[in-house]
Structures are given as C-alpha cells and as structure tokens.
Amino acid sequence: MTGVLVTGGTGKTGSALVQLLRGNGVPVRVASRAPAADDPDAVRFDWEAPATFPAALRGMDRVFVVPPVQSLDPLPSVGPFLTEAQRLGVRRVVLLGSAIVLPNAPGALELSAQVRSRPGGIVLRASGFMQNFLSPHPLGERIRRCGEIRTAAGDGRLGWVDARDIAAAASALLQGCDAERDHLLTGPEALSYPDAAAIITARTGRPVRVVHVDADEQAAGYRAAGMPAGFAAALAAVEDGIRAGREEQVSTAVEDLTGRPPRSFAEFVREHADEWAAVGPMPAN
Ligand SMILES: NC(=O)c1ccc[n+]([C@@H]2O[C@H](COP(=O)([O-])OP(=O)(O)OC[C@H]3O[C@@H](n4cnc5c(N)ncnc54)[C@H](OP(=O)(O)O)[C@@H]3O)[C@@H](O)[C@H]2O)c1
C-alpha cells in the first residue's frame, strides 16, 4: 500500500490536509495520540513514544510532519522518526516549519536542514497562522473574552496565512514531483496587529482594541495561558523582530503551488465572524 501519513492529523493544518487528500482519492493515515475509534485510517502516534513510529509509517510512502507543538527543540523526537521513515522506504517528507525562527531554538533550523538534505524532503516555512486570532490560541481567546489584542510587535507587519492554504500547498507537494526544497508560505498581504484588529472590528462589529506591551509582559501573559516558560519567552521575543520589520515577508508560493490565491485576512474574518462573539470576562493574569 502507498499513501500519506499525516502527523498532527487532527490539528488545524493536518485535518484540512486529510480532507484534501481524501477528496483526491489518496489513501491517508491520520496520526493522533488519541485516534478516533470510528476512523479506520486513524493510527496512534505520539512524538514522546518512538515505539508508535513504525506502525504509523509502515506501508506509507509519503509523510507530512507537524513537529511537536510548543517545543523549542523538535530534533530529539523528529530526528529518530525521520531515520525510521527512511528505513521503511518513505520517499517524500513535507515538513511544516516556520518562517519565523524562534530565538534560542537552533534545533528547529537543524531539523529543516536535515529534511531539505534528504531525497524528497521539502520544508514549508509558514508565516503566522490567521487561526491564531481564534480560540483556543491565547491571542484568539483574549479577543473573544476581552475584545483585546496585547502585542509587543507594535505596528510591525506579518504575512498572515490561513492554515487551510498551507494544507493546500502541502497537498499539492505530496501529490506532485515539485523539486523545490523550500517554500515560504504567506497570505496575500502583510498586516500589523492594529490592522488585523481594525479588520475584525469592521467586519464583525465587535470592537477590538490593541494594547501595546513589552516582550516581558507578553511572555508573562503566554505563561498564564499555559505555555511552557521557555517557549513563552521565545514567542514573545519574536514580537521584537516583528516590530523591527524583520518578518514582513509576502510570497506567491501558495498560488504557485495550488493555482489559487491565498485567502485574505478579510475573507478569513468574514468566514469566522461568529467566533468573536463576546463572552464572559477572562480570568485576571
Ligand atoms: N501558529 C502559528 O502561527 C504557526 C506558524 C508557523 C508554524 N507553526 C507550526 O505549526 C504546527 C502546529 O500546526 P497546527 O496549528 O496545524 O496544529 P494544532 O491545530 O495546534 O494541532 C496540534 C496537532 O499536533 C498533534 N500533537 C500534539 N502533541 C503531540 C504529540 N506529543 N505526539 C503526536 N502528535 C501530537 C495533535 O494531535 P493529537 O492531540 O490528536 O495527538 C494535533 O493534531 C507547530 O509545529 C508550529 O510550530 C505554527
């Protein structure tokens, strides 16, 4: 049998990818720590449990890799997985990487380099997800509960991308024979947090204000939302780079790979307008 093992197959990008591949008749295996009992294609998979790797990989010739979330060093778990994939004859690996390099996280860069250097290895460097503006992401949760965005990024801009467009690009790459090893995936335009707040307000009628904080305050907020301390600090530090304009990049890769322009933030907001309806107050932090 051949097919695609989709790690993170229950997440935002992975689940959209599973749907696209199934729609094209491609056999998929949906990896999850808690595989759905009613899905015959679901398989137990845990980055923390290497013993789950061989059964998930066996018979699959392609893999979509969503590295462990909120990890500063994915290499110790993903490295052995890639070795096992190679041993079992996987011919294509598409890695969901990030356009933004977290400070003090050389493992993520090393992982991307390893994937690019193996035959059939492709790295997607995804910009910030539009879905971060939705709950349960801390950013989206604060908008929903408080009508507020806290940011240390000032007016710095980012090429926000819809996770579904990342899935569409991955789907094309997992079904084609594209030779490019690296793709920067962004939406159609770069927007600041104040730009995004203004679009949400205009399209939903829900006023969203922007509160400018420094990176330390931002890290404390992320920790209070449950992120590991090191990851929270790194994520907050990234906002300094955004403020300085270092992440203001827009590419044509989504359209180049899929033949369709990426969704705009305004379209994304229109589709999700109900999700920003006001609810009760947020716990103090
Ligand atoms: N958010 C952004 O702005 C952004 C930007 C660039 C790159 N990224 C990258 O995108 C990835 C997240 O993608 P996403 O947002 O589509 O995912 P997501 O919606 O956050 O879902 C996380 C997925 O990872 C799986 N998972 C979590 N812990 C796991 C473990 N220990 N073993 C195996 N699977 C595990 C979950 O599956 P189960 O719970 O079913 O096991 C779920 O399918 C991260 O690697 C992040 O670095 C994010």
- Report how far residue 149's alpha carbon sits from residue 144's, in angstroms, rounded to the nearest whole number: 10
The confidence score (pLDDT) of residue 106 equals 87
The confidence score (pLDDT) of residue 178 equals 67
Task: Give the atom of ligand 1 at the shortest distance from the alpha carbon of 131.
Answer: 1
HSE, side-chain direction, 13 A CA sphere, residue 117: 7
- 110 Cα–ligand 1 center, Å: 19
Candidates 108, 132, 126, 134; CA nearest to 254 is 126
Instruction: Read off the pLDDT of residues 257-276 as tens digits, 9 standing for 90 and up.
Output: 999 999 999 999 999 999 98
Instruction: Read off the pLDDT of residues 50-91 as tens digits, 9 standing for 90 and up.
Output: 999 999 999 999 999 999 988 889 999 999 999 999 999 999
- 69 Cα–ligand 1 center, Å: 5
Q: Is the pLDDT of residue 1 over 70?
A: no
Q: Is there an atom of ligand 1 within 6 Å of 27 CB?
A: no
The confidence score (pLDDT) of residue 72 equals 86
* Helices of type H across the chain: 12-23, 53-57, 75-87, 106-117, 138-146, 163-175, 193-204, 215-224, 229-243, 253-258, 265-271
CA nearest ligand 1 atom 28, residue: 68
Q: Is there an atom of ligand 1 within 6 Å of 132 CB?
A: yes
The confidence score (pLDDT) of residue 279 equals 65
Instruction: Read off the pLDDT of residues 200-217 as tens digits, 9 standing for 90 and up.
Output: 999 999 999 999 999 999
Mean pLDDT of the region 221-235: 89
Q: Is there an atom of ligand 1 within 6 Å of 113 CB?
A: no
Q: Is there an atom of ligand 1 within 6 Å of 112 CB?
A: no
Q: Is the pLDDT of residue 280 over 60?
A: no
- In a mutational test of the pocket of ligand 1, which residue from 69, 160, 235 has the highest number of ligand atoms less than 8 Å from its CB? 69
Q: Is there an atom of ligand 1 within 6 Å of 8 CB?
A: yes
Q: Is there an atom of ligand 1 within 6 Å of 47 CB?
A: yes
The helices-and-strands tally (H runs, E runs) of the chain is 11, 9
The confidence score (pLDDT) of residue 281 equals 54
Task: Give the atom of ligand 1 at the shortest distance from the alpha carbon of 100.
Answer: 6
- Report how far residue 239's alpha carbon sits from residue 100's, in angstroms, rounded to the nearest whole number: 10
